[in-house]
A and B are shown apart, each in its own frame.
Chain A
Amino acid sequence: MATRHSARFTCEATALAVRHTLQEMTGRLADWAVPADPRVELAVAEAMNNIVEHAYADNPDGRIQLDVSLIPQGLSVALSDRGLAMPDGAVPIGEMPAPETLPEGGWGWSLIHACCDGLHYERTKGANELTMVFQQAEI
């Protein structure tokens, strides 16, 4: 893994396009011989679904840019969109809903926090920039 790899994907703000982009991303990571880490696809899926549903409020004209790169600590995934800003200017802390209430959602941010080792959000020039870092070999 001495070679530095990076790749950029552009995705329409629809659930199906998110699925295809995730599959492209995991394929690329496999091409780079990055050990499979299921946390990555889950965290990126949750973050991209949030962008589709909340930042772009299901407007399919929105575009999401996904930059994946190998860094010394492991893997960095950066998502960029031009939708609505995060309500409090920061990522939600994320609390797991109580199982006994039979929730049908609300796990997204908790799963993102649980799956990645570093999380950074910034709103710059009308864009949301969310970066997730995954350390290697945590399986």
Chain B
Amino acid sequence: MEGKLELTHTDYPGLRVIHVAASRIDSAAAIQFKDQMRALTDTLTYRAVLDLSAVSFIDSSGLGAIVASLKQMPSGIRLDLSSLQEDVARVLRLTRMDKVFIIHDALDLAVAPNGH
């Protein structure tokens, strides 16, 4: 299963953490990513946090898939990001998409009640 991207999740009270079990969200992974995100979020009634700690590379297709995931969230439900590696954070900064998301440095902060 080349190019396979897997998302796993952990549920906390009022919060779903979605872990990306892949080192790349790139053009080859973008559609799978968006589809799996939809399955994990489309009936959520509380906040989701995307744990990107394993991701070392994203390109504009990957970033587009993350934005698409935000837009397909149920109305009024947040999607935050957490644990960005430096190269991923740079892409968010260069595109100024770091203004669009609440970005947590680490998961323990994201998991805190109401995510500060």
Q: Which residues of A contact B (CB under 8 A)?
A: 14-16, 18-19, 38, 41-42, 45-46, 49, 52, 96-97, 99-100, 102-108, 110-111, 114
Contact = CB atoms under 8 A, between A and B. Distances in A.
A107 B71 contact: no
B24 to A, nearest CB: 7
Interface of chain A: mostly helix, strand, loop or mixed: helix
A104 B63 CA distance: 7
Contacts of B67: 102-104
Given A41-B57, A42-B91, A100 B100 contact: yes
B26 A19 contact: yes
Contacts of B2: 16
A38 B100 CA distance: 23
B59 A46 contact: yes
A110 B28 CA distance: 21
Interface of B: 2-3, 24, 26-28, 57, 59-61, 63-65, 67-68, 70-71, 86-87, 90-91, 94-97, 99-100
A99 B96 contact: yes
A104 B34 CA distance: 11
Contact of B94 (A100, A103, A106, A111): A111
A18 B27 contact: yes
8 contacts: A14-B28, A16-B2, A38-B87, A96-B94, A99-B95, A102-B71, A103-B67, A107-B60
Contacts of B91: 42, 111
Nearest to B95: A107
Given A16-B2, A16-B28, A46-B59, A104 B64 contact: yes
B66 to A, nearest CB: 9
Contact of B95 (A16, A49, A96): A96
Contacts of B90: 38
